[in-house]
Every structure is written in structure tokens, then in C-alpha cells.
Amino acid sequence: MAKQEQFGGEQPEGKIETPLPSDKKESSIDAAYFSSVSRYFNRRKEDWMADRENPSEEDLQYEQFLSAQQNVLGKVANAKQLEKLQPKDVSFALSELAGMMASNWEQDPNSTIDEKKEYLEAKEIFMATCKKMFPEIESEASSSIFYIEAEKLIRLGISAVSVSMSEGGKLLKENPKELTKRINNILHTSGDAMKSYAFYGFIAEDVKETEAMEKKLGMGVISLYKLQLMRDRLTEKIYGRADITPGETRQIDEAREKVK
């Protein structure tokens, strides 16, 4: 048998050296998630400041806000830091993402390719973050989920859309497409409102006001996540895709109507 050369010299014939245990531990960083967050927020900051030769104080504050949310989500990528995070800690970041998702609205006949891209990029990070933060929450399509979470958003002053549990149950059974539209509407109006709340909570001079807004939006994003999961489950059943944008659902519905 030929001798095997190893670091440290030759080994005796017939002897197989047991590899030394690696000192390299499995990384606790989700590199793919971290890179996705970095690319997204860096691009958002560049776009925001691109046409602002003389940015206002609020322009600069918003750039700082985006950087702060990028840093927060960077902690989500770290398994050890993730364990210490609470909903309020990521509430501004998730509210910002929900607001960007709201830019693609099924009621808008002029939805653009850029809005579709924005929706998908923001949603990818929103859903990935929520999955890390709230692993106990599972996808569920029920009238109770729809009613309870919609009512929570109303009590928080985030949404004004209300549907009774009986009506929600009837829509789920007889007209899931209409129920999906109702959920899309809640996601749109709530996301838009939460985006504004997050920024003004961030720049508030009173720390107590900032903390109160973080707590409020922390509860709101959980409801929004549950509704988004339900919406995606319904669109997968109706349109064959969970990642379909609100604007695309409108286009498909219109095309189907023309065929009839």
C-alpha cells in the first residue's frame, strides 16, 4: 500500500488517520437573508436620495430611518440576537416593508412593473422576517382568523375595514375571490398607515411616544402577517400562486371576464 502524505509527515502503512475535529462552528448568521436585506435597503436609500440635490431635514431623517431598519433586520439574521428580539423591536422595519407592499394595489389600473418588483422584494423580506420572529404562527384560512385580526387592527387604529365573522365565513365558503379582495384591501390600507406611523414614531422627540408606537405596531404586524398568510393561501387556491401581486389578480380577473 502506498504511503499517505499528511500535514505533519508520512503516516505508517495501513493506518488511516482520523480527521481532526474542525474548529469551524456552523455559522449562526443567515447570510442569504442578511444580503437580501442589505441590497434592498441600500437600493432604497440610493433611490430616495438620487434626485434630491438639496435634501430637506425630513429627507435626511427618512434616510436615517431606513438605515436604522436595515440595522435592526441585520440582527434578525443572527440567531443569537434573534432570540432576544421582541415584536416591538422590528415593528418599524416590518411596517415600512408592509407600506412598500401596499404600493401595488389591485384597485389601481395603472400598476407598473416597478411597483410589482417593489411589492415582491418587500414581501420577500417581510415574510422571511415574520417567519423568523413568529415561527409559531402557521398559515390558516378561516373566518375566525380574518375577523379577529381585522378587528385587532381596527382597535389599534390602523384599519377601518370591518367584516362580521358570519359574513367572512360565507365569503370563504361561497366566494373566496371576494374574500381575497377584502383581505387585500385591509393589507393595503393598514400597510400604508403603518408605514407613516413607523417613520413619525421614529423621529418623535418624546421617547415615550416612540416606544408606544413600537408597541402598537408590534401588535399590528402580527395581525398583518396572519392576514397575509391567509391571503396567500387563498390566492394559491384561486390563481395557482401564493406570490401573485394584488395588481396581477385584477389583471387575471379582467382577462377571465373577457373570455366569458
Burial of residue 61, with CB atoms counted within 10 A of its CB: 0-12 exposed, 13-18 middle, 19 or more buried: middle
The tens digit of pLDDT for each residue in 41-87 reads 999 999 999 989 999 999 999 999 999 999 999 999 999 999 999 99
Burial of residue 224, with CB atoms counted within 10 A of its CB: 0-12 exposed, 13-18 middle, 19 or more buried: buried
For position 221, what pLDDT does the model report? 98
Query: What is the rounded distance in angstroms from the CA atom of residue 72 to the CA atom of residue 96?
Result: 12
- Give the residues of the chain that fall short of pLDDT 50: 1-24
Coil, strand or helix at 18: coil
